[in-house]
Amino acid sequence: MRVELSGIGKTYRLSETVEVPALRDIDLRVREGEFVALVGPSGCGKTTLLSILGLLTLPSAGSYRLEDREAAGFSRNEMARCRASTIGFIFQAYNLLPREPAWRNVMFPLTFRAETRATRRQRALEALEAVGLAHRANHRPAQMSGGEQQRVAVARALVNRPKLLLADEPTGNLDSRTGRDVLDMIVDLAGRFGTSVITATHDPRVAARAGRVVEMSDGAIVSDGAGT
């Protein structure tokens, strides 16, 4: 999926007199199938930028275009449908439903699709098999290790074959070996579907696997590896 940000700014108003700028004049273009790593210190705006890209937060200024369509023109229902059918999310804290088994967690993004429940369940089981967790389909998050929970999160993010995959510190809570395995899965599965990947990370291994590294500081992009 092609993504184009132009002059994006985000300011949080804490009170009538206090405003906190989170993003300043962000210009970013991502091509279909590109893997981009956002790097920079904590608080530099990486997560806020991912939230805007994922249609979870609206910018205060600037233009955000998805496949040549201005996101500001989306209705609330259109944004929800886009998040469900076009965008996949991987969070550092997994964000799994604690009382539901793995297959139901993975099936959740398929809720709005015009498919039978049996079809959605089968697709969720196939996604779990793709990340090596078919045998854990009926286990709840508390019954799984951190690495297994993140694999479930990867399966959930990719079950609808999104055009855009957004990952916030996908290896942040994992040991080095499990983090490498999860990163391999993201690269392999996204590559198969031609998905554009944008990840925020402090992990140099993740940045090394990206085709392009964008460095942020104080809410702005300070360097962009595009074309290098």
Mean pLDDT of 207-211: 91
Percentage of the chain modeled with pLDDT above 90: 61
Question: Which amino acid is it at 176?
Answer: S
Tokens for 56, please give them: 């979870």
Tokens for 24, please give them: 């300043």
Pairing state between β 19-30 and 3-13: antiparallel
Q: How far apart are CA 115 and CA 111, in angstroms?
A: 9
Q: How far apart are CA 29 and CA 31, in angstroms?
A: 7
Closest C-alpha to 61, from 6, 141, 109, 138: 6
State the pLDDT at residue 163.
Answer: 92
State the pLDDT at residue 110.
Answer: 87
State the pLDDT at residue 227.
Answer: 52
The pLDDT confidence band at residue 178, using thresholds 50, 70 and 90, is: confident
Tokens for 100, please give them: 């539901």
Mean pLDDT of 54-68: 93
Mean pLDDT of 124-129: 94
State the pLDDT at residue 115.
Answer: 84
State the pLDDT at residue 185.
Answer: 82
State the pLDDT at residue 106.
Answer: 96
Mean pLDDT of 157-164: 90
Q: How far apart are CA 223 and CA 62, in angstroms?
A: 19
- Domains annotated for the chain, with CATH where assigned, are 33-55+76-210 (3.40.50.300)
Q: For the chain, give percent helix, strand, coil, nearest 5.
A: 40, 25, 35
Closest C-alpha to 165, from 153, 174, 178, 148: 153
Mean pLDDT of 121-139: 94
Q: How far apart are CA 62 and CA 74, in angstroms?
A: 15
Tokens for 64, please give them: 């955000």
Is the predicted pLDDT of residue 181 greater than 90, yes or no?
no
pLDDT per residue as tens digits for the range 80-121 = 888 888 999 998 888 999 999 999 999 988 887 778 889 999
pLDDT per residue as tens digits for the range 13-46 = 888 888 999 999 999 999 988 999 999 999 999 9
15-24, 148-157, 184-193, 195-204: which has the minimum mean pLDDT?
184-193
Percentage of the chain modeled with pLDDT above 70: 99
